[in-house]
Structure 1
Amino acid sequence: MASSKIVCTVARAETVAAARTSIAVGSKSFAAASKLFAPAVRERAWLLYAWCRRCDDLADGQVAGHGMRRLDDAPERLAAITAMTEAALAGEVVGDPPFDALRLVVAETRMPPRLPRDLVAGFALDAEDWRPRTEDDLYRYCYHVAGAVGCMMAVVMGVAPDDAATLDRACDLGMAFQLANIARDLSEDDAAGRCYLPTQWLAEIDVPPGELMRPSYRPRVAMLARRLAIRAAAFEASARHGTPALSFRSAWAVLAAAAIYGAIGREVARRGERAWDTRVSTSGADKLRFIARAAAQATRRRRLYPPTPRDPALWTRPR
């Protein structure tokens, strides 16, 4: 019995180590924010990230979030993601470290299986070459690929799975991140044959799908990118009001991440039509500044971000 426990402990440590490497390579912003968590939460955040990163890489043919390309075998990749995710949710040893990372997180936090499945549903939309037609479609996609991740992170931080109000705020942060990412990655997505701008928005400015990056259309597309940044800022502001429900260290990490990712959307909006000349990112110095500011905000979070009714005009996640 003792030897079995030792083996399990070693296996977990190896999975955590692999997850730590995954986040260090795949997301410097998330890696920086995760250092602020308490040790147990930090490890589970790494484990969850590793699974999300692996699924995303499989779905997009990437390596550590880079090099997205057109795929001829998207349905097969989705089937593999689904099968391994379901095995992990059933408590089975998968043999692929990121999927075993999910198994550990679910077992240790009692995470509702619906949340990982909601993320996989987002990958299914991409596999179907889906495009949003309306703004509501855009938000639904953002929920599946990022809002659900926000909810899972909240559970990792100790939020009860039935605390709908706090999960709504966590979802808001994921929505903010994804909207900012879409604005930043318009050129990269266009090169891969994808577009997450609603077709109704494109019709408004008379830009044909697949031609976003033509120089003559750049000023108009910049207007839509600014619109995305404004929407992202509204979700970010809402998310901040969920931090009083978190511990100090978790609130610190969340507020730091909100500032780091929020800066991406604001910079895209500031650059206008030059936003895609070089990839927008936050510098190491900026990250340190945001982290320091977030510490002060976390200390005063109950006064700065008192629990208030969520803005009914904001899109709400499915129940």
Structure 2
Amino acid sequence: MTAASQTQADFAEIQARVSGSSFYTAMLLMPKAERMAMFAIYGFCRLVDDIADDGTRPRPERAKALDEWRADIAALYAGRPAGQAAFLDFARRDFKLREADFLAVIDGMEMDVAADIRAPDLETLDLYCERVASAVGRLSIRIFGMDDKPGFALAHELGRALQLTNILRDLDEDADIGRLYLPRELLAEAGIEANDPQAAIGDPRVDAAGRRLALRAQAHFDAADRVLRARPRGRLLAPRLMAAVYRAILQEMLAEGWAPPRRRVRIGKLRLLGLVARCCISR
């Protein structure tokens, strides 16, 4: 099987994996062309993320795999055979997606490949969020049909809000693979000096660090909401829904706290349907 056909097979598997998630629900609410373009972006993100998280391969091999993605993205934009990136061509062409944003996502994944991130400083964490989340937002706003100024502002704020919420939800899963994304400044404020993932998240004082990071996520949600309430041009139901779902997840985590033991917060189907209805009514 060629690299391109293998990637197509992986992409089909990703579509199956994402079904039932809040991302999938948001995509289903979009017109077909936009929905398929969002699936392509999501597929790309999952494929490069799987490389970053593949603990069965040594780091140099994973770094090489990301470099191959960079080369294929460059070929895609140069009009050459694009190998594993070929499935992105229609989205790139129809929605004028920027090459720099695809490359930024790969750069973010490389941060996880170079070394396991453990208690980064706030500046490094923000750079990580910029690459793995806000860059995806900048790709998405072209599909939403937004103008660059409000679209880039939404990508900046909502991308960071979603990523910080994911970090707070995935503390245990990340620690199991040797990662700790809680910033060192907030851990220190909580009295935690260790950057060992299991030691840090096993300390009851981690709740204070989680709450401080949650405040930052809330501020980004509030800023994203201000962009959306200004009613910029574009099809905004999908980002409204994503903001509503992840804000609900954050609020539930705030109610439960981050002291061990924790459970991974999920939004049930009935609550998700309620959020969909509310977003549809408030358009």
State the TM bucket, normalised to the shorter chain. 0.7 to 0.9
Residues 108-187 of structure 1 aligned to structure 2 (within 5 Å)? 108-129=94-115, 130-131=117-118, 133-160=120-147, 163-187=148-172
Counterpart of 2:64? 76
1:60 aligned partner: 53
Cα displacement string for residues 29-70 of structure 1 (whole angstroms, at most 9, x for unaligned residues): 100011111222112111111111111112212xxxxxxx47
Contact 2:141/2:155 (<8 A) preserved: yes
1:85 aligns with 2:68: no
Equivalent runs, 1:235-314 vs 2, <5 Å: 235-243=220-228, 244-247=231-234, 250-273=235-258, 277-298=262-283
**1:128-187: CA deviation from partner (whole Å, max 9, x where unpaired):** 215564322211110100011111100111224xx2333112221111110000001111
Number of the residue aligned with 1:315:
none
Residue pair 1:184, 1:279 contacting (<8 A) in 2 also: yes
1:186-226 Cα offsets, whole Å, 9 max, x none, are 11111111111222222232240114456861x21122222
Q: Distance in 1 between matches of 2:175 and 2:155?
A: 29
Percentage of identical aligned residues: 30
Query: d(CA) in 2 for partners of 1:290 and 1:78?
Result: 37
Residue of structure 1 equivalent to 2:184: 199
> Using the alignment, how far apart are the partners of 1:54 and 1:232 within structure 2?
26
Question: Which protein is richer in helix relative to its size?
Answer: 2
* Structure 1 unaligned residues grouped into runs of 5+: 1-14, 62-68, 299-319
Asked whether the 8 Å contact 1:92–1:103 carries over to 2, the reply is: no
Which amino acid letter does the alignment assign opposite residue 79 of structure 1? D
**Normalized against structure 1, the TM-score is what?**
0.76
**Distance in 1 between the 2:278 and 2:242 partners?**
11
- Contact 2:171/2:201 (8 A) holds in 1: no
CA separation in 1, counterparts of 2:201 and 2:91? 46
* CA deviation profile, 1:87-119 (whole Å, cap 9, x unmatched): 3333334343xx223222111112221111111
Letter in 1 for 2:14: S
Report if the CA contact (8 A) 1:59-1:127 is conserved. yes
User: Among 210, 224, 236, which residue is 2:209 paired with?
Assistant: 224
* Cα 1:268/1:154, change in 2 over 3 Å: same
For residues 210 and 56 of structure 2, what CA distance do their matches in structure 1 show? 23
In 2 relative to 1, CA 215–117 (structure 1 residues): closer, same or farther, beyond 3 Å? Answer: closer
Gaps of 5+ in 2: 1-7
What is the alpha-carbon distance in structure 1 between the residues aligned to residue 202 and residue 237 of structure 2?
43
- The one-letter code of the counterpart of 1:22 is I
Cα distance in 2, alignment partners of residues 270 and 128 from structure 1: 35
Closer/same/farther in 2, CA of residues 213 and 81 from structure 1, 3 Å limit: farther
1:244-273, Cα deviation, whole Å (9 max, x unpaired): 1243xx212211111112222222222113
